[in-house]
Amino acid sequence: MEFSCNILNSLQNKSILITGSTGFLAKIFVEKVLRVQPNVKKLYLLIRATDSNLAKQRLHDEVLGKDLFRVLREKYGEDFESFISNKVTPLPGDVMYANMGVKNSEMLQELLNEITIIVNVAGNTKFDERYDVALDVNTFGSMNVLNFAKNCIKLEMLLHVSTAYVCGEKSGLILEKPIRMGETPNGSLDLDILQEQSIAQNKLKELETLQATKDEERSAMKELGIKRASLYGWRNTYVFTKAMAEMMIWHSRGYLPLVIVRPSVVTSTYKEPFPGWIEGTRHIDTCAVAYGTGKVTCFLGNPNFALDVVSISQETWW
């Protein structure tokens, strides 16, 4: 993630709101901005929490307390805490709600008056998440962010992080273009996003009538998500709900400056702040760990295939 001088300068004195702040990508973005552009005005980190104290605790435990911030801590030494206090504000909230769940009226007004850039990294990345949950977070949560962005009087850009796999089961050359409302990988023409929301809600009512247990409800809603995704040509609930999010925010953006990025498989840091930092194991990471520990000595594959993997700290964000 190497910043050009123009990008560095453009972040000076900017107030940036970041959703999904405790997630893998958001943490790396926050660390990078604070390290290379200390003259950024303020980073507001939206954190799922019931109050400010819990948001601060999660910021300390799940973001700043990670080894990822080691270089930044060494850079500022005993001034690290005061630097963070001046530059970073944790916000209790949730993209599932209007105004992203920000309840403090004074803070809400500050955000609307000061925010210049919004980076929406919030999302539920479980492939087989409950359909209702994935819709609430990935699809309609993104609309809540868009609606909030429209009320920010100084906004210069909304950056929405999607996924390369919104393309579905297509093969060959796939162009980077917006997904039209209702467009599906298999050519079906009857996708209606509001109807999908109703289908999920009706399924929940049906399960309640049947007095389903929590486990039965969870299983049924997961199955529903996979079924609806497959119906239109998407592989799983995650990419389906992310694709619907793209449709809605692009269709509803108006004159708002909107950028949608679609990373593929994201792995560890490449160079900065140091090579190899990763959090947990996902997707291809398990193969690397298995090989590194000697549990897997070979892996079958087609040598003619391109392995589309993004190493953070190179060109992921800019």
238 is catalytic: yes
Three-state DSSP class for residue 258? strand
Query: Is 222 designated active site?
Result: no
Spell out the residues 6+ positions from residue 93 whose beta carbon is closer than 8 angstroms to its own.
Answer: 46, 47, 48, 49, 99, 100, 101, 102, 103
Give the contacts of 68 (CB within 8 A, at least 6 positions apart): 27, 28, 31, 269, 273, 277, 279
Q: Which of 44, 131, 232, 238 is catalytic?
A: 238
27, two tokens: 């943490």
Catalytic position from the list 32, 165, 242, 270 = 242
For 10-59, what is the HEC assignment? HCCCCEEEEECCCCHHHHHHHHHHHHHCCCCCEEEEEECCCCHHHHHHHH
Candidates 131, 157, 140; CA nearest to 244 is 140
The two three-digit tokens of residue 45, written as one number: 């980190």
Query: Which residues have a catalytic role annotated?
Result: 238, 242
